[in-house]
Amino acid sequence: MIRAYRLHAMRRDEASLLNPANALQHPQASLFVLGNLLRLDDLGRNFQNEVITALKALARAHEINNVLAALKALERAERAEQRERSHGEGGAETNGRKQALARLIAAAHQPLGIRHSQSRFTLAEAGLPHAVAAFGLDEVEAALLRMITLLALEHPLRRTYVHLFETLGGAAASYAAMLGLAVDEVRARLRPEGALQRAGLIELEHEFSGISYYDLTRHFRRVLEQGIETPAALIERLIGKPATTALEPDDFAHLGRTTEQLVRLLTRAGETGEIGINLLLYGRPGTGKTEYAKLLAQLAGLPLYPVGEADEDGDEPTRHERLAAYKTFQHLMSPRAGRVLCLVDEAEDIFPGHGFLSLFGLRRQEGSKVFANRLFEQNQIPTIWIVNDIHALPETIRRRMNAVLHIDLPPAAVRASILGKVVARTGVALEPARLREIAGRFPVPPAVYDRAAKAAALIGEEGFAETFAETLDGLCEVLDVERTTAPGAFAEEVFDPALSEASLDLAGFAERLRGSDKPFSLCLHGVPGTGKSAFAAHLAHALGMEPVKLRASDLLSKWVGESEKNIRRAFAAARRNKTFLILDEADSLLRDRKGAFRSWEVTQVNELLVAMEQHPLPFACTTNLVEDLDRAALRRFTFQVEFRPLPPEKAARCFRHFFGLEAPHALYGLEGLVPSD
């Protein structure tokens, strides 16, 4: 990033070391630096004369008598030196000139007795001591921060810095010359592990002209320019206020004892002073990751501070600015380690991952190991990182997390509970049955419920439920939400086993399975419309589980290897959420490998077979073409149930059930009828 420092390269014959446009502003700093530059004997007499010329202009403009007197004494000493040389009495610098030069340096370093009008320089300088105290900076770091601040605010000394950089060939040497400090001391303070960069106060910048310099980070500069009254005020402006949530543990009941474990991790880390504690929450947008992070902090009894979010003007911070804000927080809050937590939301924006470049087979540089070590293994404040796409984080970052949790769409029962709170905030009351119905029909993240409820409330309280449902329907459309692919979104009505024909007694079979505590797998096969998927959902409810129905189209991908990943994720989600997985159209996923023409057709079946064997919960597959299934797959099912067309007696019973009328006599002569007919 190039932040227009405008330190453009100058020709050696340009007139002054100070920018003539504002050369007379803030003379104290200029006098101090010019006095230090007079000590640079290695740069020769010509450079020294440039410094003296700049000093003379400043002294005359501000009537600095002691400097003017020292300049006159230097002029006399130089005339005397010239006379001695003209008489051949030595070529080296005379003692008289050395003494006059020392007097001039001392005069330049004396405080001025003039009052400066209020300016950006004086305002920033007034706040710097508070920053030095808040960040615990030493004298060298304080001097560097002051000089970098002045240059960042377009001080006349900018031209001096450029001249020195071109002459001395480096930033550390240039700052050292201006401040009269040892180069090694300055270089050590400017390193990435030094307090100034580690605290997120400064960052290295480069210009196309080849000039390198240190600039204030944006968030620190903004606070400094606003004025700082006390160290506490600086900390409050840089850190902000802790985040809170209105959600409760019941809203994340589907995560089970994981919540308790993570709360214990955060509290114990604080009690023991353990460093490098990082928790990663990931999942699709709107599933409540941020609110869950706030809840964890609330349960741990620790304030949670979001860092690197929108600034006070509402502008979006850059990656560098977010990292600087994080480093500032860690540094400022280190004395309170064990009593606070840090939150970094949308963290994938900070770290270079794969993203757009991967479309062309390229990968961004993942960053140095040293950088990752410093960021994730040395943070004193436990940090909760939140991302939407886990794969957007480089592997070097992922492996340094202490705990990782995937937060997916909550089950329908939990969604109904959250929905009740969302609706209540609008001042409207809905019956629990209606809440459950809406939560089942619209399997969307809680954030979508909130937006739809606000819209429906603004439209009007009358007919709120219908307006709310219509709004959700539109949002589902643009979000590409498939009603049958999420927990609680099962479309079939309540299943009656007496209305289906199968190879065994469905009611008794369901009753026996409900009393079992062992996992099992089902292959439900038969002609379309016989109730296979409906029975699987009925069985899930009988077991007290949420049915999740996935079609082959939900899992299959045109990209090689992606289908296998989708299969793993589907079973992992079912295991994590303790849901009853129903794989519809299983013949598309478990097709006999003997007829495979491509390697991925085999690996896809292999992946699913492994997932079926290792799954610790009940699940079911449905198919209309059982004869196309791989033989190995059939052997792995605990039970196989064939669903058949209805015999005449059951067909008549279905007619009475759906129409409330006696079946016509002609119905008994029809063959191949199924419940969906």
Instruction: Give the model's pLDDT for residue 16.
Output: 64
Apex 2 CA angle, 376 and 228, nearest 5: 70
Of 633, 637, 567, 630, the C-alpha closest to 593 is 630
Determine the Cα–Cα distance for residues 495 and 135; give it in Å rounded to an integer: 67
Q: What is the pTM of this model?
A: 0.69
Residues belonging to the chain: 677
Residue 314: both structure tokens together: 């509402």
Average pLDDT rounded to a whole number, residues 217-228: 85
Residue 522 sits at φ, ψ, to 5 deg, of -125, 140
In this predicted structure, the answer to whether residue 413 has a pLDDT above a threshold of 70 is: yes
Range with lowest mean pLDDT among 22-31, 165-174, 232-241, 380-389: 22-31
Tens-digit pLDDT profile for residues 359-380:
333 344 444 556 666 778 888 9
Question: 147-152 — which CB contacts under 8 Å span 24+ positions?
Answer: 147/29, 147/33, 147/175, 147/178, 147/179, 148/175, 148/202, 148/214, 148/215, 148/216, 149/124, 149/125, 149/216, 149/224, 150/26, 150/29, 150/121, 150/124, 150/125, 151/213, 152/5, 152/215, 152/216, 152/221
Other beta carbons within 10 Å of 114: 10
Name the DSSP letter for residue 403.
E
Q: Which residue has the tokens 């609680």?
A: 488
Query: What number of other Cβ atoms are within 10 A of residue 489's Cβ?
Result: 23
pLDDT mean over 124-143: 90
Could you report the per-residue pLDDT of 3-19, keeping only the tens digit for each? Answer: 333 344 333 334 467 65
Amino acid present at 207 = E
CA 536 to CA 620: how far, in whole Å? 7
Predicted local confidence at residue 117, as pLDDT: 55
What are the tokens at 32?
A: 């101090």
How many other CB atoms are there within 10 angstroms of residue 670's CB atom? Answer: 13
Q: Give residues with Cβ within 8 angstroms of 337, minimum separation 6.
A: 270, 273, 275, 380, 381
Residue bearing tokens 């300055």: 186
70-79, 270-279, 316-325, 446-455: which is most confident:
270-279
Percentage, residues of the chain above pLDDT 90:
21
CA distance 654 to 479: 37
171-185, 217-231, 595-609 — most confident range: 171-185
CA-wise closest residue to 155 among 179, 122, 184, 180: 122
Look-up of token digits 């014959």: 13
Burial 190-199 (b: 16+ CB within 10 A, else e): beeebbbbbb
Full strand arrangement of the beta sheet holding 619-623? 501-502, 639-644, 521-526, 619-623, 579-583, 546-550
Element at 434 (helix H, strand E): helix 432-441
What's the pLDDT band for 482 if we cut at 50, 70, 90?
low
Averaged pLDDT, 577-592: 83
Cβ atoms of 632 and 610 closer than 8 Å: no
pLDDT attached to residue 640: 93
Q: Could you report how far apart the first and last alpha carbons of the chain are, in Å? A: 66
The DSSP output letter for 521 is E
Distance between CA atoms of 478 and 134, rounded to whole angstroms? 49
- 3-class secondary-structure state, position 123: helix
| Count of Cβ atoms closer than 10 Å to residue 136 Cβ | 13
CA–CA separation, 620 and 643 (whole Å):
14
Q: Averaged over 136-158, what is the pLDDT? A: 91
Q: Check whether 579 has a pLDDT greater than 50.
A: yes
- Out of 206-215, 475-484, 536-545, least confident range: 475-484
pLDDT tier at 629, thresholds 50, 70, 90: confident
pLDDT at residue 652 tops 60? yes
Q: Is the pLDDT of residue 412 over 70?
A: yes
Dump pLDDT digits (tens) for 315-350.
677 787 888 888 889 988 888 888 999 999 998 888
Going by C-beta distance under 8 Å and a sequence separation of 6 or more, which residues neighbour residue 672?
A: 527, 645
Token pair 């005359």: residue: 60
SS3 203: strand
Q: Are strands 639-644 and 278-282 parallel, antiparallel or unpaired?
A: unpaired
Type of residue found at 630: D
CA pair distance 464, 457, nearest whole angstrom: 7
Instruction: Check whether 311 has a pLDDT greater than 80.
Output: no
Most confident of 217-231, 483-497, 548-562: 217-231
Q: φ, ψ for residue 5 (rounded to 5)?
A: -70, -20
Read off the tokens for 467: 């307006």
- In DSSP terms, which residues pair with 523 in a beta bridge? 621, 640
Q: Treating both helix axes as pointing N-terminal to C-terminal, what angle do 432-441 and 412-425 enclose, rounded to 10 degrees? A: 120
pLDDT given at position 617: 92
344 SS3 class: strand
CA-derived radius of gyration, the chain: 37
**SS3 of residue 309 by DSSP:** coil
Residue 344's DSSP bridge partners are 385
Kindly list the distances between the CA atom of residue 288 and the CA atoms of 58, 248, 283, 411, in Å, as whole numbers in the listed order: 61, 12, 9, 13
Q: How far apart are CA 551 and CA 586, in angstroms?
A: 8
173, pLDDT greater than 90: yes
Look at strands 212-216 and 202-206 and give their pairing: antiparallel
Q: What is the mean pLDDT of the chain?
A: 81
290 pLDDT higher than 50: yes
Predicted pLDDT of residue 523:
93
pLDDT given at position 487: 38
484, 582 Cβ separation under 8 angstroms: no
DSSP state of 114: S
Of the two residues 362 and 76, the one the predictor is more confident about is: 76
Separation of alpha carbons 279 and 645, rounded Å: 54
- The answer to which of 50-64, 475-489, 637-651 has the lowest mean pLDDT is 475-489
pLDDT value at residue 189: 94
**Is the pLDDT confidence value at 312 over 60?**
no
State the DSSP string of 60-104: HHHT-HHHHHHHHHHHHHHHHHHHHHHTTS-SSPPHHHHHHHHHH
Which alpha helices (DSSP H) does 109-257 contain, by range? Answer: 120-135, 139-152, 158-168, 171-179, 183-190, 195-198, 218-226, 231-239
Q: Using 50, 70 and 90 to split pLDDT, how confident is the model at 599?
A: low
